Amino acid sequence: MPLRPSAAALVLALGAAAGCAVHTAYEPLRVVSLPAPSRAEFAEELPPGELALEKVTDPAAWPELAVPIEDRAALLEAIERSLHYLAKPSSRRYYPYLDISHGRVVRSLEAFRDLVSSGLGPEELARALRQRFELYRSRGRRGTGEVLFTGYCEPIYEAALRPDARFRFPLYRRPDDLVSTEEGVPLGRRLPDGRLVPYFTREQIDAGGALRGRGLELVWLADPLEAYLVHVQGSARLRLVHEGGRLLPVGYAGKTDRPYRSLGQALVRDGKVAKEEMSLGAIKRHFRERPAELWPYLFENESYVFFRVAEGGPYGSLNERVTPRVTIATDKSVFPRAALAFADCRLPRPQPDGSLEQAPFRAFCLDQDTGGAIRSAGRCDIFLGTGPEAERIAGATMSVGRLFYLFLKE
């Protein structure tokens, strides 16, 4: 589950070695259906003190970088957002990362921006990158370099500012008793006597009324599954039906310290949906046909997310606006913030008949967000935009590929 903009991750544990060559030759991976045990392997956390990237020293292990840029203006704008973040003094605390200094990240983005702005073709750009940059790869699942890619989006749902017979399921503002670190990592609930205890579970909040009567309701939705999906995505645009259809953007304001559990994986585990058919559409169909099963499954995910009005968003965990098909979300405790990346995976592509077909996705990206359920070197989430079509594509995104980062040679 991505949290967008998410809880900031733990401060980087420094001191890991840079690593060595990864393969004698680069070979992209193409898989889209994984059993639950395999998915769990991608989520395994690194040992304390280890980071996600290792330097690629074998030229044959480079991916094919000669790819067309889908939207040059969007990529350039995303680069500027990373540079804007890196201009903040607080960004320096996360570097050095391996042998990569804060200044080197800035110079890398500036150099890449100049190359993109110059209008170079794919082959010329790839040649310049090989000459001027060094390549790092994500260690991925158990050091294999395999990374599980998923998608997230900003959905659009109907909502109301006040509850009525139809709109009964609230999104809550951040409560005052929720305690987090300076980096946004949730710690629990502060009691009046000063003690810190785990925060309320999803069931205690939604069924037990643990937050009721505190005036924390930000907005109300008509569908409890849609409210839950806003938690999963971390942001949404809500069409206020009693306010002339005005769109209200809401974004992440914090989360509890309770564990996250995947709704889709729970349905596969119980044989409710076949793993090869699992998608957001399959989840919606299942609960539309069996509404009595919804709440027990939702309550399995104890984690709970709080929201704020987020004009100008959606924003990532760097507090910078995210860009469709450019912004990626990773575990910020082991990946370098704001850095230039290159993703090689597959994404669903809409077809003329309305279906989705898996197609190669090779693109330059910016690491500008954090996923609430992405806590390892083997996971990456791609922001896919706003609205129903983006939600449909994000819900069908799952492929295994590779993730690289590029830094200017010193």
Q: Mean pLDDT across the stretch 1-10? A: 34
DSSP per-residue string spanning 239-301: EETTTTTEEEEEEEEEE-SSPP--HHHHHHHTTSS-GGG-SHHHHHHHHHH-GGGHHHHHHH-
Final residue before a domain boundary, out of 288, 309, 330: 309
- Shared domain for 141 and 222, answered yes or no, is no
Domain check: are 140 and 164 in the same one? Answer: no
Tell whether 336 is covered by a domain. Answer: yes
Query: Which residue, chain included where needed, has tokens 């983006």?
Result: 390
H helical segments located in 43-145: 72-86, 102-117, 122-132
Lowest mean pLDDT among 18-22, 74-78, 223-227, 229-233: 18-22
Gap between the Cα atoms of 36 and 275, Å rounded: 8
Indicate whether 220 and 257 sit together in one domain. Answer: yes
Q: What is the CATH number of the domain that holds 168?
A: 2.40.240.50
Q: Match 């004009």 to its residue by tokens.
A: 311
**For 151-160, how does the pLDDT look when each residue is reduced to its tens digit (9 = 90+)?**
998 999 999 9
Q: Is the pLDDT of residue 13 over 70?
A: no
Average pLDDT score, the chain: 88
Q: Is residue 208, in this structure, part of any structural domain at all?
A: yes
In terms of domains, do 195 and 101 share one?
A: no
Domain boundary among 309, 326, 343: 309
pLDDT score of 35: 58
Whether residue 395 is contained in a domain is answered as yes
User: Sign of the CA dihedral 49, 86, 43, 259?
Assistant: positive
Q: Is the pLDDT of residue 219 over 60?
A: yes
Confidence of residue 213 (pLDDT cuts 50, 70, 90): very high
pTM: 0.81
Confidence (pLDDT) at 62: 96
| Calpha distance 148→264 (Å, rounded) | 16
Together in a domain, 198 and 274: yes
Confidence of residue 30 (pLDDT cuts 50, 70, 90): very low
Q: How confident is the model at residue 222 (pLDDT cuts 50, 70, 90)?
A: very high
Q: Which helix (H) or strand (E) holds 54?
A: strand 53-55
- Strand bridging mode 398-408 / 340-350: antiparallel
Q: Domain range holding 223?
A: 153-309
Tens digits of residue pLDDT in 226-237? 999 999 888 999
96 and 198 share a domain? no
How many domains is the chain partitioned into structurally? 2
28 occurs within a structural domain: no
DSSP 8-class letter at 59: G
Quick one: average pLDDT of 327-343?
95
What percent of the chain lies above the pLDDT cut of 90?
A: 73
Are 172 and 274 in the same domain?
yes
Length of the chain in terms of residues written: 410
Which of 195-204, 361-370, 385-394 has the weakest average pLDDT? Answer: 385-394
More confident residue, 15 or 329: 329
Residue 375, pLDDT score: 65
Residues 255-308 pLDDT 10s: 999 999 989 889 999 999 988 888 888 899 999 999 999 999 999 999 999 999
The CATH number of residue 135's host domain is 2.40.40.10
